[in-house]
Amino acid sequence: MRKFFFSSLIIIAAVFAFSCNKGSGDEILIGEFGSLTGSEATFGISSTNGLKLAVEEMNNSGGLLGKKIRLITYDDQGKPSEAQTVVQRLIKNDNVVAVIGEVASSRSKAGAPICQQNKIPMITPASTNPEVTAIGDYIFRVCFIDPFQATVVSKFILNTLKLKKVALLKDVKNAYSTGLADFFEKEFRNMGGEIVEVQSFQAGDKDFKAQLTSIKAKNPEAIFIPAYYTDVNLISIQAREIGLTVPLIGSDGWESEKLTEGKAKDALEGCYFSTHVSTENPDPAIQNFIKKYKEKYGSMPDAMSFLAYDAGMILFDAMKRAGTTDAEKVKNELAKTKDYNGVTGKISINEQRNAIKPAVILEIKGGHFKYKETVQP
Ligand code: PHE
């Protein structure tokens, strides 16, 4: 009798847990994976904050298809293997109808095949490596891609800075870094520039002096470093320590308030990087988003916050147009996204499921990011 009582309890508890996980029928479950911890923690935190704003706004204005949206976010700790685990969990255990994520291309590349196999639409807010959306017809992005970013940086170095001899330092453990470095090498040479040295490191390295010394020996006029902020912070300090005084040029992976922490504030003074949005843009959509974000979180949004908000809103818009959360129909509507008015500008999804958008160049001054110029596609 007693045994029977306890096993019934367990069954009831299991059924309860299961039904909670699936969400009651009046909820739409959306999954998100991001690096909430680890050396790219600001990527995950900024993007989930932006996405939560989108969910909150939808729910406050009556929800979606008569239901409330519930967001389930998992931390992948900045590891591709963990990204696979949590995307699997979102789809198999939580039964989400769509996935938003990741910021980093290597982790989007890890999660996307699982979404594709299970036919669950995935939108990456900020992964710029072209291979991410090439994984399949369920995988979308709301940002530009790296062949364009390579052109933007090449033009800026050659035409605005009027520099011709550049060295390249890349992270060989990072699909974004190696991809962007390759596109840049080709494009910069095509446009008449000279690559005087290519050096590499692996994310997490602490000592970059050997690479920087080899670079210095070639007398470049600038160094392009397509990498993430934690490594760039250290690289900039060590570059100055060995007497490399030329400007360091970066890409969207630099964007974090942590980039200029400590001695990097001085080391990166007068350096530049390309990215997706400038918070100095007077466009009311951007300023209004900044106001809402600051009210809720007490900090400034960055590119990933804006892009994740747009990724969420574009997904909800596609579901609205589809009149259902049915994955195939939502995927078809996502593919038809045209001139959507996002906070990051007009978004249209092309045949390769990418967005065609302008880029901005920011200058680092006093540890802050100042608007320099916009480059149209
Ligand atoms: N574009 C980067 C990648 O693909 C991610 C990123 C986007 C980082 C925007 C910062 C800002 O890995």
pLDDT digits (tens, 9 = 90+) for 1-52: 455 555 554 554 444 444 444 445 799 999 999 999 999 999 999 999 999 9
Note down the domain range covering 162. 146-275
Task: Kindly provide the residue ranges of all beta strands, DSSP E only, lying in the chain, ordered along the sequence.
Answer: 27-34, 68-75, 98-100, 122-124, 139-141, 165-171, 194-201, 222-224, 248-250, 272-275, 340-342, 345-347, 359-365, 368-375
Report pLDDT digits (tens) over 108-126: 999 999 999 999 999 999 9
Residue 369 lies in a domain: no
Closest CA to 368 of 283, 255, 274, 211: 255
Whether residue 117 sits in one domain with residue 8: yes
pLDDT of residue 25: 79
Closest CA to 84 of 132, 48, 33: 33
Question: Residues 69-95: pLDDT tens digits?
Answer: 999 999 999 999 999 999 999 999 999
pLDDT of residue 193: 98
Same domain, 230 and 138: no
Tell me: do 51 and 96 sit in the same domain.
yes
pLDDT digits (tens, 9 = 90+) for 133-187: 999 999 999 999 999 999 999 999 999 999 999 999 999 999 999 999 999 999 9
Please indicate, yes or no, if residue 67 is contained in any of the structural domains.
yes
Å from CA of 304 to ligand 1 middle = 8
* Residue 289 and residue 229 in one domain: no
Give the tens place of pLDDT for each residue, 291-306.
Answer: 999 999 999 999 999 9
Q: Are 139 and 9 members of one domain?
A: yes
The residue out of 275, 292, 317 marking a domain boundary is 275
pLDDT at residue 199, as a whole number: 98
Task: Report how far ligand 1's centroid is from the alpha carbon of 228 (Å).
Answer: 8
Shared domain for 308 and 268, answered yes or no, is no
Which of these three, 275, 302, 334, is where a domain ends?
Answer: 275
58 domain-assigned: yes
Examine residue 377 and state whether it is found in any structural domain, yes or no. Answer: no
**Structural domains in the chain (count):** 2
**Residue having the nearest C-alpha atom to atom 10 of ligand 1:** 253
The answer as to whether 368 is a domain residue is no
* 80 and 156 fall within a common domain: no
| pLDDT of 72 | 98
CA–centroid distance, residue 146 to ligand 1 (Å):
10
- Tell which residue, 51, 86, 85, has the closest CA to residue 69: 51
DSSP string, 147-207: HHHHHHHHHIIIIIS---EEEEEEETT-HHHHHHHHHHHHHHHHTT-EEEEEEEE-TT---
Domain presence at residue 94 = yes
pLDDT of amino acid 362: 98
Residues 221 and 191 in one domain: yes
**CA neighbor of 76 nearest in space, from 120, 118, 116, 32:** 32
Per-residue pLDDT reduced to its tens digit, 226-276? 999 999 999 999 999 999 999 999 999 999 999 999 999 999 999 999 999
Residue type, 286: I
Q: Clarify whether residues 13 and 130 are in a common domain.
A: yes
Q: Which amino acid is at 267?
A: A
The residue contributing the CA closest to ligand 1 atom 8 is 253
- Do residues 166 and 157 make contact, with C-beta atoms less than 8 angstroms apart? yes
Distance 326 CA to ligand 1 centre (A): 29
pLDDT of residue 18: 46
Shared-domain flag, residues 199 and 318: no
Residue-level pLDDT at 4: 53
Give residue 216 CA to ligand 1 midpoint distance, Å: 28
Q: Is residue 367 part of a domain?
A: no
Same-domain pairing of 28 and 175: no
Mutate which of 40, 49, 252, 259 for ligand 1 pocket (most atoms within 8 A of beta carbon): 252
Same domain? 243 vs 308: no
**Which one of 243, 275, 307 terminates a domain?**
275
The helix or strand, by DSSP H or E, that contains position 217, with its residue range, turns out to be: helix 209-217
Tell me if 104 is assigned to some domain: yes
Q: What backbone phi and psi angles, to 5 degrees, belong to 229? A: -55, -35
Task: Write out the two tokens for 9.
Answer: 């309890």
For 252, the token pair is 């969207």
Ligand 1 atom showing the smallest separation from residue 132 Cα: 4
Q: Which domain CATH number covers 159?
A: 3.40.50.2300
Mutate to test the pocket of ligand 1, among 40, 103, 106, 360 (most ligand atoms within 8 A of CB): 103
**Atom 6 of ligand 1: nearest residue by CA position:** 253
